[in-house]
Chain A
Amino acid sequence: MGSVEYNDMELMICVASRVFEDGASVSVGTGVPCAAVMLAQKLYAPNLLITFEAGSVAPLLPTMPLSVGDSTTMRKAIQTSSTCEAMEMLQRGLIDYCFLGGAQIDMYGNINSTVIGNYEKPNVRFPGSGGANDFASMSWRTIVVTPQSPRRFTNNIDFITTPGYLNGSGAREKAGLPKNTGPYKIITNMAVMDFDEDTKKMRVESVHPGYSLNDVKKNTGFELLVRDDLKETKPPTKDELDILRNEVDPFNAVIGRRAE
């Protein structure tokens, strides 16, 4: 199969869609995470159980929702419950994956989506936790999709909105968070990263075609570990791109945006 043209946004979504096994459950927000989950459901995991924090359970999504509570998320849903019920599914251990974005992320996978600068008088105010903190505290595995840049990947994050491994091994358990949970994969436009089992530090697992390990390192504000069996990521397939473009995001709501 010859080379297939794709942009960074499409690349991230296609790579992210391959994470889920059929029959897994996921809590998801709007934007890139939602596109990846929809693609996964159409291609790899038809039995993926999708839940939204406004209360919708197992919908058949027609196209990308604009809000995690809008009618799109209720189309042919099995149940429309409440925010507390959605969060209690997480608290009881029923949700395998959650899927997040974020403004800043550090080497332990902690995420900032609250403020840049001083808390009381910030330079930039972001929306805050939303459901992200609950998702990443209580789902078994957290997946983050965000473009790779030194500004985003930094150890000087101004605010930990959402917990990664906090300050390293054992910190989540000490803080009182549920056992055996935490960041699982970080997917960017350049690479896929996981976390070292002992130190809980971010580690490059595979580099996307067209990028080098050096590109990834140059676009990260902290020192990255690298897996001994570092691989090249499988590029988006024609199938993935066709379904993404024609069925998941036909109006270019997400894939038309720049990954920056």
Chain B
Amino acid sequence: MESVGELLGFKNPDDMRDYFRQKSKKMESKTTTMKEAVGLIKEKDYLAVGGFGLVRIPMAFLHEILKAKIKGLTCAAFTSNLDTDILAAGGVFDKTDVSYAVAFEALGIPKMIRRYFETGSIQTTEWSNGALGWRYKAAAMGLSFLPIRSMLGTDTQLRSAAKEMVCPFSGMKYLAVPALYPDVAVIHVHAADIYGNAYIKGVLIADSDIAKASKKVIITTERIVPTEFFRNNPEKTTIPFYLVDAVVESPFGSYPANMPYEYFLDVEHLRAILDASKDETTFNKFLEENIYNCADFYDYIDKNGGLRRIEKLKKIEREMVGGYNG
């Protein structure tokens, strides 16, 4: 089977070696503001967003992208929903590698977002979650592809940009998935120091590989911690400083998505987003009120229950898995 999807995010590993060679490996402060960090995104860039759609996503950063009126990006809709849905609502990207998008999993489907995909205004190349995870991994390994054993024989393969290959050792048929080297990645973490050393507690999804694969890495963090935290617990350095370009402190930055060990997802607000997305007028009004007319992310949280709501979500989380304790 010959796949017909457009190859997106692929770069030559030798070019990437040249790029990574000149990248600074100094331990220097990278703390900055949300606005300046958004400024690292350039025209036509390929953007990768960390987390898992409703879990540990850099929402505060995504709001800032919408406010900056950035258009024409390509992005990965990998295990995505709320994250790429918000970007779609802002018309931020027009091409995407998609493995999972649109639906808020068990909660339902935001209808207006689905429309962007149905009208052909977003061009898609199809993958599975495993395939996109392995595309990041191939890039993280400094390679141009990885052989995998899924997607074969399906329309998911047909609409992808993967190629069939024969193993030179066993003669077996594999699917070669091309390396995915994003231009910019943004990943929300539990703790980071000023140099970009970052700690993720709980499931990693693909974030360790995304950080290695991307040209520029932006970390948004629940809290800034002293470097001693990492020097004393080096096994907690999920993402090391030399991969990172910017660090932005962003408390409650994943709201209304779940931040494991910190706060649970806000089901009530997510249902409000689903309701608002029923028609264009209501949805645009919702976006104006909750994103474009908010001075900052605290303003957004204040509009939706503020500290009282956050404390409630923190309590649910504490009872479920215990609170964050480093």
Contact = CB atoms under 8 A, between A and B. Distances in A.
A138 B155 CA distance: 17
Interface in B19-76: 51-56
A80 interface: yes
A65 B264 CA distance: 11
Given A54-B55, A82-B203, A83-B133, A161 B105 contact: no
Given A30-B106, A70-B55, A127-B101, A54 B128 contact: no
Interface string B183-221: 000000000000000000011111111000000000000
A192 B151 CA distance: 26
A122 B55 contact: no
A67 interface: yes
Looking at chain B, what size class is its interface with the partner chain?
35 or more
B82 to A, nearest CB: 10
A125 B101 CA distance: 9
A253 B106 contact: yes
Contacts, number: 212
Contact of B150 (A55, A81, A138): A138
Interface in B125-146: 126-131, 133-134, 137
B204 A133 contact: no
A151 to B, nearest CB: 18
A253 B108 CA distance: 12
Question: Which residue, B128, B174, B260, has most C-beta atoms of chain A within 10 A?
Answer: B128
Contact of B203 (A55, A110, A159, A172): A55
B173 interface: yes
Given A30-B105, A177-B149, A160 B53 contact: no
A171 interface: yes
B258 A71 contact: yes
A122 B102 CA distance: 14
A178 B151 CA distance: 11
Contacts of B93: none
B121 to A, nearest CB: 10
B117 interface: yes
A258 interface: no
Contacts of A109: none
B153 A175 contact: yes
